[in-house]
Amino acid sequence: MQEARHLALPMIAGGVVIAALYFGRVLFITALVAIMIAFILEPFVALLVRARFPRSLAAFLVCTVALLGLYVTGIGAYSQLTSLYDDLPRYGQQIADLVDEAQQKLQATEQRTYQMLVPARQRQQQEQTRAQAQQAAEQSRRRRAAEPPPPAIAAPGPTLIPEVRIHEEGTSIGEYVYTRLNSFYQILLMVSFIPFLVYFMLSWRDHINRSFLQFFRGEDRMVAARSLEGIAGMVRAFVVGNFLLGVLLAFLSSVIFWFIRLPFPLLVGPLSGFLSLVPYIGLPLAMVPPLFAALGVNLFPIYVLVVIVVALLHLVAMNLLYPKVVGSRVHLNPLVVTFSLMFWGFLWDAPGLLLAIPLTAALKAVCDNVQGLRPFGKFLGD
């Protein structure tokens, strides 16, 4: 009975935590995104603090510059998207032409395969059978056309038009629209809090660390300090490392795409660079934006160059740069990474896929520094 109680309590607690993460995902995702942005901006704040700036002023300056950079980037992306929207009819025609060409090639391939595999006599018999079936269908159509028309039917009396319950359909559509708008409003409201959260996290970082350690006593305080430092180191290595790699890939992709005369290089370059960092499916995702942009040129050498450039940049970044910048701090085995992507993707959809690895790395940092949880840390490690 005692053992069952010891097993039941952690299971109930785990279920409550998972339910809270699922139903409060907008709140948790907002907080985690703010934490990741704060980790990215912290080195710049520390640089200004070493230059004798007050921490609050340094955080304000860094956040202001970051918002200005985001605004300028948004203007550039908007201009590129506007040009792309104007060219969408041409891209649609190119896609339709490619689909028609692929269908014609497929039909020609099927015809050649049919001629190779089916003997000539059998083909002749099948063609005769098909011709006879068509002839019989034509004769049946002629007989129906030669038959006299059916007698006219007297006009029926007034009929009652059934009532169409439009109000119920309108109500369901209205509820659907209201639900979507309500969700969008919640997301927009939470996003508006991110700049303030980032600023307060940067300006009050030392106070937050000291206050957090006040919850522990004696040796537990040392364990909490080491765990907090390990979490900060792992998450900072992952977030800052991925951000720097994404910026590098975006810059190189944009320059190369501009050099080969690919349309919209300032839009597809950053998209391809940052999509390349998505676990497991980064390479095919990174090829989608430049290949779509290449439809405006529609030349086979351009398609080949795009595939080669994206593949080379992805392989160099993931096999040479990523282990040096990120992999030296985030030690997670591939099985755990896969399960974490599945778990957090189920709970939080697309944001969960982006946050799965830093969350799991933070959990491993806690397990590595707590004596009773070290076996779990070894299990999560590589």
Per-residue pLDDT at 334: 79
Per-residue pLDDT at 310: 92
Residue 284 structure tokens: 């095919």
CA 308/CA 7 separation, integer angstroms = 54
Please answer whether residues 373 and 366 qualify as being in contact, where contact means their C-beta atoms are separated by less than 8 angstroms.
yes
Per-residue pLDDT at 67: 92
CA 322/CA 357 separation, integer angstroms = 14
Q: Tell me if 222 is assigned to some domain.
A: no
Collapsing DSSP states into helix, strand and coil, what is residue 118? coil
Residue 103 structure tokens: 């269908």
Per-residue pLDDT at 223: 80
CA 60/CA 192 separation, integer angstroms = 16
Name residues whose C-beta falls within 8 Å of residue 276's C-beta, 6 or more positions apart in sequence: 246, 249, 282, 283, 285, 286, 310, 313, 314, 317, 318
Dmax (CA) for the chain in angstroms is 105
Q: Tell me if 135 is assigned to some domain.
A: no
Q: Which of 280, 302, 327 is the last residue of a domain?
A: 327
CA 273/CA 110 separation, integer angstroms = 39
* Residue 323 lies in domain: 241-327
**In which element (H, E) is residue 337 found?**
helix 334-369
Q: Tell me if 282 is assigned to some domain.
A: yes
Q: Tell me if 323 is assigned to some domain.
A: yes
Q: Tell me if 283 is assigned to some domain.
A: yes
Name residues whose C-beta falls within 8 Å of residue 343's C-beta, 6 or more positions apart in sequence: 352, 356
Please answer whether residues 280 and 354 qualify as being in contact, where contact means their C-beta atoms are separated by less than 8 angstroms.
no
Residue with tokens 């029926």, as numbered in its chain: 156
Q: Tell me if 171 is assigned to some domain.
A: no
Q: Which of 61, 78, 95 is the last residue of a domain?
A: 78
Q: pLDDT, tens digit, for every residue of 154-204?
A: 555 555 445 545 444 445 666 666 666 667 777 788 888 889 999 998 898
Collapsing DSSP states into helix, strand and coil, what is residue 96? helix
Q: Tell me if 150 is assigned to some domain.
A: no
DSSP E strands: which ranges in 204-251?
none
Q: Which of 229, 226, 233, 231 is nearest to 370 (CA)?
A: 226
Q: Tell me if 31 is assigned to some domain.
A: yes
Q: pLDDT, tens digit, for every residue of 58-111?
A: 999 999 999 998 888 888 888 888 877 777 777 777 777 777 777 888 888 877
Q: Which of 290, 308, 327 is the last residue of a domain?
A: 327
Q: pLDDT, tens digit, for every residue of 122-153?
A: 666 767 777 777 777 777 777 776 666 555 55
CA 311/CA 228 separation, integer angstroms = 37
Q: Which of 277, 339, 353 is nearest to 25 (CA)?
A: 353
**In which element (H, E) is residue 148 found?**
none
**Structure-model confidence comparison of residues 175 and 276, the more confident one:** 276
DSSP character at residue 147: S
Name residues whose C-beta falls within 8 Å of residue 35's C-beta, 6 or more positions apart in sequence: 201, 235
CA angle 356, 357, 361 (to 5 degrees): 120
Per-residue pLDDT at 311: 92
Per-residue pLDDT at 178: 61
Q: pLDDT, tens digit, for every residue of 215-263?
A: 888 777 888 888 787 777 777 778 888 888 889 999 999 999 999 888 8
Report the percent of the chain where pLDDT is more than 90. Answer: 12
Residue 296, pLDDT > 50, answer yes
The domain tally of the chain equals 2
